[in-house]
Amino acid sequence: MADYFVRGTAGDDYIRAFAGTTKELVEKARSLHNLSPVASAALGRTLTATGMMGLMMKNDQDLITVTFAGDGPMGSMTVTADCHGHVKGYVQNPAVMLPPNARGKLDVGGAVGKGILRVIRDTGLKDPYVGEVEIRTGEIGDDLTAYFWESEQVPSVVALGVLMNHDNTVREAGGFIIQLMPGAPDELIDTLEQNLSIITSVTDLLKEGLSPENLLELALAGLNPVFRDRTEAEFKCNCSKERVTKALLAIGAEEIQDMIEEGKTVTLNCGFCNKSYDFTVDDLKALLTAAKENT
């Protein structure tokens, strides 16, 4: 089954919910960046959550970027999504290896470490909206739950999971986000809490073959979930030679001059998808000439 996100409401619209399967998407990220198992789990959870957060945005051109700037051995992690199910992301140290945590699971919290979780919503205005909270456990779901509460005052549950195969490919990935709207009655909250208390592992449920709709049916049992639209989920980067050229120009004319004098073709990789772009000495010379004409 191809990856997708589903959006829904429940409990007379006092609840809004998102769920998704992201196995292919996370596997693509793993292979593009050559991610270790713990880095696959960390980036996979963040890609899944950010994809759903992208669907919360209103306008076609809006972008959301989630960054975990932690002090763990994985370094920082950045994921960007649009509102069409397209996500991309990377971690600073994709090869990070750690022993399992106390529960025998991939130690995502240890890989992320302590630091700041930053959410940037770019809606095309001059100043993007930026929300910041301290990283709690580094397990991603907990941290985003804290973000929604502290920064947006929306009580939320964020459940995410990535399960790896023994050959280090991705076996299952997905999750859900459930949010309470203001004024939700107590009985509704009690039912939701009871439902959630029996969901201990998203990956177990995905392994059993549950779809995103099934996940929400379980979490929202007795609350009349209504499913709205499905959105295909995909790891997709919009880099191009033009964009990479801009990044190269930002390095500065002096550096480009140095590269020309070295006389070798320069290869730049896109941080998000690792695609490489070659610039020959002639390319660099043309670039420099054009840059000088523009100043």
Question: Where on the chain is the footprint of Zn ion (CB under 5 A)?
Answer: 237, 239, 270, 272-273, 275
Rounded Cα distance between 25 and 88, Å, is: 9
SS3 235: strand
> What DSSP string runs through 20-73?
EE-HHHHHHHHHHHT--HHHHHHHHHHHHHHHHHHHT--STT-EEEEEEEE-ST
Residue nearer to Zn ion on the CB measure, 247 or 290: 247
Nearest partner of 90 among 39, 135, 159, 141, judged by Cα: 39
CA distance linking residue 47 with residue 64, whole number of Å: 11
Query: What's the token pair of residue 129?
Result: 């909206």
Q: Are 270 and 234 in contact (CB under 8 A)?
A: no
CB closer to Zn ion, 105 vs 236: 236
What sign does the CA torsion over 6, 240, 92, 101 have?
positive
Give the C-alpha separation, 43 to 36, whole Å: 10
Tell me how far, at minimum, the Cβ of 33 lies from Zn ion, in Å: 11
Closest separation in Å from C-beta 124 to Zn ion: 21
Q: What's the min distance (Å) between Cβ of 270 and Zn ion?
A: 3
